[in-house]
Amino acid sequence: MKSNVMTAAILFVGAMVAFSAENKNSSAARRNTRYYFDLGPSQIDVSAYPKIQQKNYALFAQTCSRCHTLARPINAPIVTEKGWRRYLRRMHAYSKNSPVKLTQPEINSILSFLVYDAKIRKVGQRKQFLAQTAVLKVKFAQFKKQHLLLEQKKNAKEVGRSYFYSGPSPQP
């Protein structure tokens, strides 16, 4: 029992260090943060992956980064082919009005990569992935709190700039 707790603690600290080192999101990317997984790493080292999956990763990176950061799908908790197929169907529907037009073979290649990568990183290295997820959730909670404070300050400034009083006239 103690060794499991110790292992989890070590993985959590390791994930925190990896998160700090890998997460160099720009301020623009941070503004588009909608989910905790948007704050994770936006690249994968695929050098040990089969050549076909390296090629699929390149297509995935080129295509998916046009609409959102790659951190979103890379760190998303989706691990099944059914889940990725649903995700890709939604993304493809969103892209219908954009200049990005994917063929069915391209969609299949991206799906193949996402399923393979999930099997390797998210299922095969489950403890590390869960530790990283825990770190991202903490960071996201901090991010949301900071974002809320900034919004409150912005709203306070807007109220302070209001030149027109629309209430009842003061009585002498």
What pLDDT, on a 0 to 100 scale, did the predictor assign at position 156? 66
What pLDDT, on a 0 to 100 scale, did the predictor assign at position 92? 76
The span from the first CA to the last CA of the chain, in angstroms, equals: 76
pTM to 2 decimal places: 0.66
What pLDDT, on a 0 to 100 scale, did the predictor assign at position 100? 67
The rounded distance, in Å, linking the Cα atoms of 38 and 115 is: 19
Tokens of 85: 């197929």
The rounded distance, in Å, linking the Cα atoms of 135 and 32 is: 19
Residue pair 117/58 in contact (Cβ under 8 Å)? The answer is no
What pLDDT, on a 0 to 100 scale, did the predictor assign at position 15? 42
What pLDDT, on a 0 to 100 scale, did the predictor assign at position 171? 64
What pLDDT, on a 0 to 100 scale, did the predictor assign at position 62? 92
CB half-sphere exposure, 40, CA atoms < 13 A: 23
Q: For every one of its 172 residues, what pLDDT tens digit does the chain have, with 9 covering 90 and above?
A: 555 544 444 444 444 444 444 444 444 445 567 888 788 889 999 999 999 999 999 999 999 888 888 999 999 999 999 999 999 988 877 766 666 678 889 999 999 999 999 999 999 999 999 999 999 899 888 888 887 877 777 766 665 555 555 566 666 6
